[in-house]
Amino acid sequence: MARLALLLIAALVAAGSAGATIPPQRDPIRTLSIADATTHETNFDTVAVLDVTLSGPSGDPVTVNWATADGTADATDYVPDSGTLTFRPGQIAVMIKGDALDEPDETVFVQLSDANYATIDRGRATLTIVDDDPVPLRLLDASVDVRWSVHRKYTKVTRFVIHRPGGTAVAVRCRGGGCPLRVGAKLRPGALVDVRIEANGQPLIGRVYQYRIRAGKQPRLTALCLPPGALSPRAC
């Protein structure tokens, strides 16, 4: 019995010695960081990319969860998403929804959480969506007050007043019988009066009023718009 006990103890010691391999030393704990990014909104859907970096190489399977969160942008501006990033250093893609609306620049947050084999050094990034749509132009606040006395062979101008803000330019052209245009002028059928009120360098849409003189009828008015820099008026 004593001999058997000694053999058993020896066997246990031998077995313990054989299984006592020390596991390999794990790499030092690394840190994760996510960087801010800026993207330009277009009229079409695009993808914005944010970089996530690890402070150094690691032999361990480093993973980290990520998720988007509204800043000033919401689900009408981007596609909310989440996932898990496995290292090698990687990138997170966020889908940006394009539109043609003029609006302020907006932000989306991307948050890292629950890292394995690493700590999170900088865990929140701001994705800035830069609006690329032009500021809509306003129509110049101007008008023409003109009154006519219609006769069979001519139309008499009884009142002609232009209402316009300061800093604007006015051009009045009259072509045809009875011109130039003035109070008391007797314009013949077929004459054309063109009144242009331009913004004169301001970011405003100018106005154009065209009056076609007709026999025995009130002149036909066509109101047009003149965008900044345009040579010819167009329909508003």
Instruction: Kindly report whether the global pTM for this prediction surpasses the value 0.85.
Output: no
Tell me, yes or no, whether 42 and 100 share the same domain.
yes
Last residue of a domain, one of 75, 110, 130: 130
Task: Identify each DSSP E strand in 63-137 by its residue range.
Answer: 63-70, 82-86, 90-96, 106-116, 118-122, 124-130
Last residue of a domain, one of 96, 130, 164: 130
The CATH number linked to 64 is 2.60.40.2030
Residue 209 CA: distances (Å) to CA of 194, 198, 200 = 6, 12, 17
Tell me, yes or no, whether 202 and 186 share the same domain.
yes
Q: Is residue 60 part of a domain?
A: yes
Tell me, yes or no, whether 121 and 103 share the same domain.
yes
Q: Is residue 90 part of a domain?
A: yes
Q: Is residue 151 part of a domain?
A: yes
Distance CA 93, CA 98 (A): 15
Q: Which domain holds residue 207?
A: 138-226
Last residue of a domain, one of 80, 109, 130: 130
| In contact, 129 and 39? CB cutoff 8 Å | yes
Structural domains of the chain, count: 2
Q: Is residue 11 part of a domain?
A: no
What is the enclosing helix (H) or strand (E) of 212? strand 204-214
What confidence tens digit (pLDDT) does each residue in 69-88 have?
999 999 999 999 999 988 76
Segments of the chain with pLDDT less than 50: 1-25
Closest CA to 30 of 59, 54, 2, 5: 54
pLDDT score for 1: 23
Tell me, yes or no, whether 117 and 50 share the same domain.
yes
Tell me, yes or no, whether 113 and 175 share the same domain.
no
Q: Is residue 67 part of a domain?
A: yes
Closest CA to 200 of 117, 133, 142, 135: 142
What confidence tens digit (pLDDT) does each residue in 110-127 have?
999 999 888 999 999 999
Q: Is residue 18 part of a domain?
A: no
Tell me, yes or no, whether 83 and 161 share the same domain.
no
Q: Is residue 220 part of a domain?
A: yes
Q: Is residue 236 part of a domain?
A: no
Tell me, yes or no, whether 35 and 126 share the same domain.
yes
Distance CA 11, CA 14 (A): 5
Tell me, yes or no, whether 120 and 146 share the same domain.
no
